[in-house]
Amino acid sequence: MAIVLGPHQYGKAENRVVRIYRDSPRHEIHDVNVSTALRGAFDPAHLVGDQSAVLPTDTQKQTAYAYAKEKGLTSIEPYGLELARHFVDDVEPVTGARIEIEEYAWERVVVDGTEHDFTFVRRGQEVRTAAVTVEGKGDAQRTWVVGGFKDLVLLKTTGSEFHDFLTDEYTLLEPTSDRIMATSLEAKWRFDSAALESAALESSAGFDWEGVYAGVKQTMVEVFATLHSLALQQTLYEMGKAVLERFPMIVELRMSAPNKHHFLYDLAPFGLKNRNEVFNADDRPYGLIQASVLRDDAPAAGAAWDVAGGFA
Amino acid sequence: MAIVLGPHQYGKAENRVVRIYRDSPRHEIHDVNVSTALRGAFDPAHLVGDQSAVLPTDTQKQTAYAYAKEKGLTSIEPYGLELARHFVDDVEPVTGARIEIEEYAWERVVVDGTEHDFTFVRRGQEVRTAAVTVEGKGDAQRTWVVGGFKDLVLLKTTGSEFHDFLTDEYTLLEPTSDRIMATSLEAKWRFDSAALESAALESSAGFDWEGVYAGVKQTMVEVFATLHSLALQQTLYEMGKAVLERFPMIVELRMSAPNKHHFLYDLAPFGLKNRNEVFNADDRPYGLIQASVLRDDAPAAGAAWDVAGGFA
Amino acid sequence: MAIVLGPHQYGKAENRVVRIYRDSPRHEIHDVNVSTALRGAFDPAHLVGDQSAVLPTDTQKQTAYAYAKEKGLTSIEPYGLELARHFVDDVEPVTGARIEIEEYAWERVVVDGTEHDFTFVRRGQEVRTAAVTVEGKGDAQRTWVVGGFKDLVLLKTTGSEFHDFLTDEYTLLEPTSDRIMATSLEAKWRFDSAALESAALESSAGFDWEGVYAGVKQTMVEVFATLHSLALQQTLYEMGKAVLERFPMIVELRMSAPNKHHFLYDLAPFGLKNRNEVFNADDRPYGLIQASVLRDDAPAAGAAWDVAGGFA
Amino acid sequence: MAIVLGPHQYGKAENRVVRIYRDSPRHEIHDVNVSTALRGAFDPAHLVGDQSAVLPTDTQKQTAYAYAKEKGLTSIEPYGLELARHFVDDVEPVTGARIEIEEYAWERVVVDGTEHDFTFVRRGQEVRTAAVTVEGKGDAQRTWVVGGFKDLVLLKTTGSEFHDFLTDEYTLLEPTSDRIMATSLEAKWRFDSAALESAALESSAGFDWEGVYAGVKQTMVEVFATLHSLALQQTLYEMGKAVLERFPMIVELRMSAPNKHHFLYDLAPFGLKNRNEVFNADDRPYGLIQASVLRDDAPAAGAAWDVAGGFA
């Protein structure tokens, strides 16, 4: 028996890059948090402290800022692709790179009914995310792109039931035919790499990352609103299914949805009727429903979902 | 020399009350975090553990939920007034009450271009706040109402300078005539109690709390956008002044504004020009500017600003 | 009626200064978060954007780091005093300064039963705090020092009762003669400025800040443990009283204590007895008890407790 | 092409169970945050909203509290095993369960030099963790146990170098032969299931979970302290290797270690020498090093590391 080094990666996490476009009086802002992780032939650094194959995490940071200017930073997915491909293609010991990005949305403030040219207010709603993974050199290179969002907090005040569930000796829950359903939705969708490449080839404008993002979000929100729900599981499945039906370049979608419990407050001791009007929004514990939806002919996921390399 | 009990208060903090109005198919939601604090003749509880004058914090919680139904919960200021007056008027040992409320805004989701009746998405922008203080019984009773918001994150990509400041032997900062100015604004405005009472008397609809809130916020945002700034101090002062000019029922406004530094990233080592295009959004430390603006004939502030009784 | 500038202050918040003493092989570490705030003749900055009296917040940051070397950083109170006096004494427009400091404690790791010379683990228990306020120039200068801590989480599994409280129509709480009492204690104690000066004069070693801190904390912990409690109010009062009795240089102590509720879990539906053995640690809401204890001949508090200038 | 349901799981997250043992005057406390997740034949819940196979998350919560009494809650690993096996063995549609637990450590307060019987202070140092996964029924059942901790903040003021690294056109970092090295360590170790079973059989006292936990932690701390480090990678590897050498029942260890940067502060502009004495503790970005160490004959990891099912 010997003790050996297993999987490892390293990088610079949470670079807070803000990119302003100010070529016209109407400025644009892109505000991101980008994390890089490199995989490759770094065994000597672990085994004997030899750094000769290790590109410093500080260099990865410098590159993230420099690329915001050199390559530009508009949609986060292609920015992530530029970074990932650079590390794998241009740094010899690097055999794989994963770039994870969060984007914070800003909207223009309105003055006298007109959008302002260079003043913004942070929207504060969901955080957009992307995870780009590139593995391999040259012709063997493979690429996965995952788009997504988190912290989209949705709530419906009716149109949600939960009953006829399995019971055992620890079951106290009462069934209900009308409850608040609320969640802070996280969704991640895997793009079909081949479809992305085709789209990019067909049009000089490339792929419409912004349109897909807006469309996926709106689709999910609409299903959440309009589906009469028998369970959060059902709602998630139908949300994911609708996305796959409308967006052919997406092959899989994963969702994580805390059931943010709103408990009907008992006002009977005070002689008051509570007809689903007063609730306590509880913190913990919360239900946590996680589900995925995919095409039955989806290509293998490969490293697409390997968010943190299983580390933490 | 003797050791004596000094100021004290107690209450129930962070009751997460959610109130749904569902009298028509178009539901309304009000989502608040309400904290109560009572002041009064509670010395025996401290000195000898005698609770006979102490209304439990659990009772304060029950009251907050019950009042959301009994008295209603639409605007947070009158809801806070109902609670504060109840504790002072109806609970004998209580001589003062302070109710602090945060409100989380929701907006309707849009389906096929139409606002949905009962599905909402959390806006996630600023948090609205209120602090109501009532002191004294009967004719001696005095009331203060403070409205406000926090976490309104504003940024302008130009139109902000900072130069000709005082220097000493520890000064390294370079002057600038064009920088990003960003803040996470907290503002609190003190209402003229007399004006509130008059407004309530003159109209059966009472006071337009929602209109004032929206107007104050919009006024501050507009000044932030349109004032060419020589310092965050100047911007704050002009924001506050504009509010007082437009809203006669507000007599004082206090602001706390972290200067969220966006440092121009040095791309010169990579042969790149950075014409205010790439920034690092830094976390800490941050400048912190705090200022107040008031009418020179404003009534005394009394207990209005006694946010936490000086305790923490 | 005119609109005027009210109270204002500005500074640099949350400078994360780490000071290592390495004059011997046994290194020492002091890890603090220091915030500065200056008060003075800064009206022109607000009124017309004139910065000529404004020492940049960046300069305040530089000074905090430089003083960690120039003046040293061992106990946080004298470090804060050095900074506050510097700004008031050496910067002409500054008439008052408030320095607030948090300190994060580290302890040496133990290797083979011996404390290591230069490796530390963060203790993670309470955070020590200090707030130093200096107002006025020359002979008119006044100084206040407040020591303290926060986030000291204490719990006793028995020895706590709560009953015979006031009830009204919203009271549902059942009395109890045995409950868990838990809190995350924040305490702040005001030193007698005259006593500090005398102590410093009498001994070349100056005042024993570390000894007082350890003693106050231990005193409070011991009273929490040994007092059979009829209410958290009583426990707080006795904790504060014991501190004042043992530490003559402290004239006032303020405490803020959330009642971290541990609710007995109802296991009866499962045929199980729960003899105060299984609890749910709830998040929100929580009781919040705040109280102060002082000497009846304590000097006036002046600006000592003016933590945030009433701003936020 | 059809759209199909992919992997899914559901459960109750963050149940805050506190278990007191009070059979003698010297009470014991175990304070945990337990999350359950069930996997199995829940497709109808997603596809058609049929809940007949779904044991409510509320029931999972009740079970977690009930088991703290019925089965006991001392070490978190066997408590997790009881819960996981119960769900898989006793609930027909459940084919797999994952139980994740965090434990918050308390230590006795000391009064007059003696540990108190029933008063505790939260230690606040690292959070202990466990993840138990059970898959399959009857003889086909497989079990994985992962122990661990997170938030163990370590720092050494010297004995750490970083130089001779790879450089490219974005590299600005200067090499150093003496720096602060600090991290907030997360570690997870996978037990050999066969070894656990043998140990349990050999002794009526079962397996010494507490001893292993303390030993692993101490081993890692000692290596961190005593190894002269050429890179955080090297330190992590040696820490993991030492654990595997000393604890035969552990077959793999994974670590995630942010490099908490302490930047030497430039005091030269003020005429001051900074001989590694004054640092700025920066927040973001941070290096992030992740590595694993394992035995070359370790059994396959199976579902052991499938922390969040790849969902979020």
pLDDT band at C198 (very low <50, low <70, confident <90, very high): confident
- Token pair 């868990």 is found at C180
Residue-level pLDDT at B310: 54
Q: Tell me if D162 is assigned to a ligand binding site.
A: yes
Contact D277, C20 (CB under 8 A): yes
Residue-level pLDDT at A306: 76
Q: CB neighbours of D70 closer than 8 A, spacing ≥ 6?
A: C270, C272
CA nearest to C162, candidates C259, C275, C290, C286: C259
Residues of D designated as active site: 12, 57, 261
Read off the pLDDT of residues A152-187 as tens digits, 9 standing for 90 and up: 999 999 999 999 999 999 999 999 999 999 999 999
A55: which chain D residues are within 8 Å (Cβ-Cβ)?
Answer: 165-168, 171
**Element containing residue B35 per DSSP (H, E):** strand B28-40
What amino acid occupies position C300? A
Q: What percent of chain C stands above pLDDT 70? A: 96
**For residues A165 and A92, what is the distance between their CA atoms, to the nearest angstrom?**
56
Nearest residue of A to residue B113, measured between CA atoms: A222
C223's tokens = 């009273």
Contact state of C222 with D265 under an 8 Å Cβ cutoff: no
**Element containing residue D199 per DSSP (H, E):** helix D193-202
Q: How far apart are the first and last CA of chain C?
A: 27
pLDDT band at A203 (very low <50, low <70, confident <90, very high): low
**For residues D247 and A305, what is the distance between their CA atoms, to the nearest angstrom?**
32
Contact B301, B273 (CB under 8 A): no
**For residues C46 and B230, what is the distance between their CA atoms, to the nearest angstrom?**
9
Contact B104, B127 (CB under 8 A): yes
DSSP state of C113: T
C46's tokens = 């607000």
**Element containing residue D252 per DSSP (H, E):** strand D250-259
Q: What is the 3-state secondary structure (H, E, C) of D68-95?
A: HHHCCCCCHHHHHHHHHHHHHHHCCCEE
Distances (CA, A) of B299 to A103, B194, B243: 46, 10, 17
**For residues C254 and B6, what is the distance between their CA atoms, to the nearest angstrom?**
9
CA nearest to D73, candidates C288, C265, C292, B109: C265
pLDDT at A227 over 60: yes
Pairing label, strands D250-259, D262-264: unpaired
**For residues C221 and C214, what is the distance between their CA atoms, to the nearest angstrom?**
11
- Token pair 């707030």 is found at C131
Residue C311 falls in which region: left (phi positive, over 0), alpha (psi -120 to 50) or beta: alpha
**For residues A69 and C147, what is the distance between their CA atoms, to the nearest angstrom?**
48
Residue-level pLDDT at B194: 87
Residue-level pLDDT at B1: 79
**For residues A94 and A34, what is the distance between their CA atoms, to the nearest angstrom?**
19
pLDDT at C309 over 60: no
Contact A224, A156 (CB under 8 A): yes
Torsion sign, CA atoms D215, D127, C110, D252: positive
Contact C97, C131 (CB under 8 A): no
Contact A218, A242 (CB under 8 A): no
CA nearest to C105, candidates D257, D260, D103, D153: D153
Read off the pLDDT of residues C233-281 as tens digits, 9 standing for 90 and up: 999 999 999 999 999 999 999 999 999 999 999 999 999 999 999 999 9
**DSSP-derived 3-state class of residue A311:** coil
D225's tokens = 């302290």
State whether ipTM is beyond 0.90: yes
Contact A255, A186 (CB under 8 A): yes
**For residues D285 and A15, what is the distance between their CA atoms, to the nearest angstrom?**
5
Contact state of C283 with D123 under an 8 Å Cβ cutoff: no
What amino acid occupies position D92? E
Q: Tell me if D26 is assigned to a ligand binding site.
A: no
**Other C-beta atoms lying within 10 Å of the C-beta of residue A300:** 6
Listed as ranges, residues in chain B with pLDDT below 50 are 309, 312
**DSSP-derived 3-state class of residue C96:** strand
Read off the pLDDT of residues A94-124 as tens digits, 9 standing for 90 and up: 999 999 999 999 999 999 999 999 999 999 9
**Element containing residue D285 per DSSP (H, E):** none
> In this structure, what are the phi and psi dihedrals at residue D23, rounded to the nearest 5 degrees?
-80, -20
Q: CB neighbours of B44 closer than 8 A, spacing ≥ 6?
A: B50, B52, B53
Interface with B, mutate which of C144, C168, C223, C282 (most B CBs under 10 A): C168
Residues of C designated as active site: 12, 57, 261
Listed as ranges, residues in chain D with pLDDT below 50 are 309, 312
**Other C-beta atoms lying within 10 Å of the C-beta of residue C302:** 14
pLDDT at A204 over 70: no
Please give the biggest Cα pair distance in chain B. Answer: 76
pLDDT band at A296 (very low <50, low <70, confident <90, very high): very high
Question: D277 at the C interface (CB within 8 A)?
Answer: yes
**For residues A69 and B269, what is the distance between their CA atoms, to the nearest angstrom?**
13
**For residues D240 and D254, what is the distance between their CA atoms, to the nearest angstrom?**
8
C169: which chain A residues are within 8 Å (Cβ-Cβ)?
Answer: 270
Instruction: Please report the domains of chain C, with CATH numbers, ordered by start residue.
Output: 9-140 (3.10.270.10), 150-191+201-312 (3.10.270.10)
Give the closest-approach CA distance of D248 to chain C in angstroms: 21
Across chain A, where does the E strand assignment appear? Answer: 3-13, 15-21, 28-40, 94-104, 106-111, 114-122, 127-135, 142-156, 181-191, 250-259, 262-264, 278-281, 286-295
Count Cβ atoms within 10 A of the Cβ of residue B266 and give its class: 0-12 exposed, 13-18 middle, 19 or more buried.
middle
Contact B121, B114 (CB under 8 A): no
**For residues C120 and C125, what is the distance between their CA atoms, to the nearest angstrom?**
14
Question: D283 at the B interface (CB within 8 A)?
Answer: yes
Contact A10, A61 (CB under 8 A): no
Contact A87, A34 (CB under 8 A): no
Helical packing angle, C76-90 and C209-226, nearest 10°: 130
C270: which chain A residues are within 8 Å (Cβ-Cβ)?
Answer: 169-170
Give the closest-approach CA distance of C283 to chain A in angstroms: 7
Q: CB neighbours of C95 closer than 8 A, spacing ≥ 6?
A: C39, C40, C41, C88, C135, C136, C137
pLDDT at C306 over 90: no
Contact state of A169 with C283 under an 8 Å Cβ cutoff: no
Question: C79 at the B interface (CB within 8 A)?
Answer: no
Give the ranges where chain A is alpha helix by DSSP (H): 43-47, 57-70, 76-90, 193-202, 209-226, 232-246
D:104-133 residues touching chain C, CB 8 A cutoff:
106, 109, 111-112, 116, 118-126
Residue D18 falls in which region: left (phi positive, over 0), alpha (psi -120 to 50) or beta: beta
C42's tokens = 């800064």
> In this structure, what are the phi and psi dihedrals at residue B70, rounded to the nearest 5 degrees?
-65, -50
Residue-level pLDDT at A310: 54
Q: CB neighbours of D110 closer than 8 A, spacing ≥ 6?
A: D116
Question: C6 at the A interface (CB within 8 A)?
Answer: no
Nearest residue of D to residue A55, measured between CA atoms: D166
**For residues C294 and C253, what is the distance between their CA atoms, to the nearest angstrom?**
6
Number of H-type helices and E-type strands within chain C: 6, 13
> In this structure, what are the phi and psi dihedrals at residue C249, rounded to the nearest 5 degrees?
-85, 0
CA nearest to B212, candidates B153, B148, B143, B131: B148
Residues of A designated as active site: 12, 57, 261
**For residues A274 and B93, what is the distance between their CA atoms, to the nearest angstrom?**
30
**For residues A60 and A12, what is the distance between their CA atoms, to the nearest angstrom?**
6
What amino acid occupies position A66? A
- Token pair 């707080």 is found at C236
